[in-house]
Structure 1
Amino acid sequence: MTDLKNLLDRAAGTDPDVTDDDVAADLSRGRRAARRRRFAGAGLTTAAAALVVGALAVPLAFAPGAQSGGPDSALSAPPATGPATGPATGTVTAMSAGEVLLVAAAHEEKAEPTTGKYFRVRKVQSREWTVMAGGKIVCCGSIPAGPGGYKLRELTVTETWTGLKGGTAWFGTRSLGAHPATAADEAAWRKAGAPANWNAGPSDTAGKQDQVISSKPGKATFFELKDDADRYTALGMNGTLQDVLALPADPEQLRARLLGVKAATAPDATDVAALAQLSAGLLSDTPALPKVRGAAFRLLAGLPGATVQQNVTDLGGRTGTAVGFSFPAYQLNLRLIVDPKTGKLLSSSHTGGKNGDSSILLSGWTNDTPEAPPATIK
């Protein structure tokens, strides 16, 4: 594990808290714990309800699909290994998903906690639209376009500024425009006259104005959310900064805390699916302390069924090593992209159902004045 040791040294500093033996011990404990956590009824019941935990959280939406009631693939699939680039030599070394996540844990545990007026989270999200022959457009890409039709991919930037207790919060969103999803879609779009705008009909807003999809970036909306200050819905609808700062830094204790959130919000979901998604939300959408973030990565490293893929690019154009979890029963995929040279979390994303794809561009404390999200990805 020499190359992994180099990564850990770079992530943790000159006197790292995490050694090769620590990594091996963590992986061994995680695998033993995963074997102990087998339980009956891994799938959703037919009466399971879909849940979305607020705008700040990675949406915890467990909607049963065609495989509802069947076993969750993450419970049975063995951890996969994949190549990762060593920082010093440029050589390729096989690293498991657990090892990649433990490198990230070492990095996060050495990070310095910061404070500010607002905790800001900027995301870029994508969704597909289906344009039928004749120009009718419907969301969200699940309907086949058919002859003469094509699909569009729209990118949207959202930004949330969560204030302190007694303060306020702000939320903004801006469309970056829609474009043909694939080369084949572009050909069909050109054949249809290369339109620059598409009318999706009345929106679900109070005014019921027509929702016009454009190929150009749109005007930003930005508004105050007075009731959402000090609210971190990654820990449930009523999660607060105090709750976030009180999270335990021990992976098993953190696991128990997150399973408590799962019991209150999505009791029919499997433990593995809920832990993967709640941990990802904690990492991307809350100001959890460095040791807690490290514990979240260690918790993820102990979950079964993860896969590794090298040289993955997120919606922000950043490249890293991806650790993914797939839950076909919920039509859900989760992916964390980590810089293999430093262990820094670059992106947290989810795909599945109508949610499309979402990546974290920015997450942290700031003293800046709240403002609408930019018209570019940055």
Structure 2
Amino acid sequence: MNPMDQLRAARPAHLDTPVDEGTRAAELSYAMAQARTVRARTIAKPVRGGLALAGAATVTAVAVAVSGTGGTTPRAPSRAEAAPAATSAAPVVRLSAKQILLAAADSSLRAPATTGAYWYVDSVIGVANEAGTRARYLVHSTTSHRLWIARSPEGESWFVDRNLGTRPAKGAEDAWARDGSPTKWSVEVPKPKADDKNALGRMELDSTPGRPFGNPINIGDKVFELAGKNVSVADLQALPTTAAALKQRLLQGYAGHGTESDDPQDADSWLYQVTSGLLRDMPVKPAVRAAAYKVLAGLDGVRSLGEVTDTLGRTGQGIARPENWSGGGFERQLVIDPETGILLTDQIVAVRPTGGYAWAEPGTPIWWEATTEASWTDKAPEKPQSPRVPRSRSGQGPQ
């Protein structure tokens, strides 16, 4: 699988519910053209198990060690200008990946259960591209993504997105000035075809923000796709609350390949992806979130990044796991606030990129999603004036 296939496999889970094919194609084409290239999410989308706590004393010690990091940090002054900066800053105590995840599990278990008519998620999705004619540099395209999931099966669930525009990445301002300070760019992007998974296409980017657009997303009572199955809020609320049982439930959807392709994928990589999505933006009980973190803690190949800063300037503890695609080597990184159990940011970072991502220096985030809010509310969806996605708009959709 090349990077774009993998990114597409990470797009918000509500796009995987069984909608009309014309609507699906229009939504994906327009959303991807607005730089919303993938699936991951805040505290509640598809993701990853199975390890018991080493003991209450151990977890308590870990929680104390990470006290003061992460989740309460205010959002960045400008979401449109937010740029990834998940660089390690040597912490006083370097927690292991397992310690980070078990602390997050313990905090999730202690989080108070909340109520409301809708599960509301607010996040910023970003994509990096290389651009420029007289000079080459990185540009970041960001999209505001909001999600209202009705608790009642009779309620209407909505997503509402807004293109926040494209701008030079932090540190690329001088190269951008040498390029004439353009406000529009034509960039080359992976656009796989049936007979050529490494094919490239072009996408037009603009610094001007767009208007909000959106659609109802529920099909009957189904509002998410989890582990290969369309699920309702009731299904999510009924998920197992132990790591072993949750892992078993998720693996029922594993068939030896990726979530959206036939490319081979080992079980741990699949679980990492599916469990991360669940934690990002799905309305599950605190005990289920705790179990999901324990599932991740039991996977091989997960490493600690130490203390990091996410795309919105919030401090948290980072974990990562390698992902090898036909387009080279990448790493999926999660920035977590272990004190609250909140998944702050989910991002894909270049390690040994090739093909359509050969321009990315190792350590470059090529896609990210940073969650700013995920909670139950009684506030109804803020529907855009023109909710339907323009069908005339073309973009970087799936092939």
User: TM-score, normalised on structure 2?
Assistant: 0.61
Alignment partner, residue 112 of structure 1 = 112
Equivalent pairs counted in the alignment come to 283
User: Could you list the per-position Cα deviations for residues 38-89 of structure 1 after superposition, in whole angstroms to 9, with x for gaps in the alignment?
Assistant: xxxxxx8x9xx867376237838xxxxxxxxxxxxxxxxxxxxxx9982579
Distance in 1, matches of 2:107 and 2:147, equals 25
Matched residue type, 1:308: S
Partner of 1:300: 296
| Partner of residue 181, structure 1 | 169
**2:225 matches 1:233:** yes
Larger radius of gyration between Structure 1 and Structure 2:
1
More divergent stretch after superposition (221-230 vs 318-327): 221-230
Aligned mate of 2:367, from 356, 361, 377: 356
Give the partner amino acid of 2:169: A
**Are the aligned partners of 1:349 and 1:358 in contact in 2 as well (CA < 8 Å)?**
yes
Residue 13 (structure 2) aligns with: 56
Counterpart of 2:145?
Answer: 158
User: In the alignment, which residue of structure 1 is the partner of 2:334?
Assistant: 336
Give the secondary-structure state (helix, strand or coil) at the position aligned to 1:334. strand
1:348 to partner: Cα distance? 3.7
Could you tell me how far apart the structure 1 residues matched to 2:132 and 2:117 are? 47
CA distance 1:346–1:275, change in 2 (3 Å): closer
Which residue does 1:38 correspond to in 2?
Answer: none
Structure 2 residue aligned with 1:167? 155
Q: Which residue of 2 aligns with 1:257?
A: 249
Matched-pair contact (CA < 8 Å) for 1:336–1:348: yes
Given that 1:168 and 1:229 are in contact with CA atoms closer than 8 Å, whether structure 2 keeps it comes out as no
**What is the distance in 2 between the residues matched to 1:291 and 1:89?**
23
Residue of structure 1 in register with 2:180 after alignment: 193
**Residues 160-169 or 261-270, more deviating:** 261-270
Question: What is the DSSP-based 3-state SS (H/G/I as helix, E as strand, rest coil) of the residue aligned with 1:244?
Answer: helix
CA deviation digits over 1:115-157, x for unaligned, max 9?
A: 3221122221111233342xxxxxxxxxxxxx53433111111
Q: Gaps spanning 5+ residues in structure 1: where?
A: 1-43, 61-82, 134-146, 205-209, 374-378
Judging changes above 3 Å, is the alpha-carbon distance between structure 1 residues 228 and 315 closer, same or farther for their aligned structure 2 residues? farther
Alignment of 1:1-378 (within 5 A): 52=9, 55-56=12-13, 59=39, 86=65, 92-133=92-133, 148-163=135-150, 164-183=152-171, 185-198=172-185, 213-225=205-217, 227=219, 230-263=222-255, 266=259, 268-329=264-325, 331-340=329-338, 342-351=339-348, 356-371=367-382
Distance 1:110 1:85 in 2: 15
Higher relative contact order (CA 8 A, sep 6+): 2
Aligned equivalents of 1:306, 1:156: Cα separation in 2 = 29
Which one-letter code corresponds to 1:250 in the other structure? T
Separation (CA, whole Å) in 1 of partners of 2:215 and 2:39? 21
Query: Following the alignment from structure 2 to structure 1, what is the Cα–Cα distance between the partners of residues 39 and 203?
Result: 24
In structure 2, distance between residues paired with 1:191 and 1:130: 15
Query: RMSD over aligned Cα, in angstroms?
Result: 3.6
Spell out, residue by residue over 1:303-336, the C-alpha distance to the aligned partner (whole angstroms, 9 max, x if none). 1211212331112221111111122247553222
**More displaced stretch, 49-58 vs 325-334:** 49-58
**Secondary structure at 1:156's aligned position in 2?**
strand
Separation (CA, whole Å) in 1 of partners of 2:298 and 2:124 = 29
Percentage of identical aligned residues: 29
Distance 1:55 1:297 in 2: 20
Between the aligned partners of 2:245 and 2:230, the Cα distance in structure 1 is 20
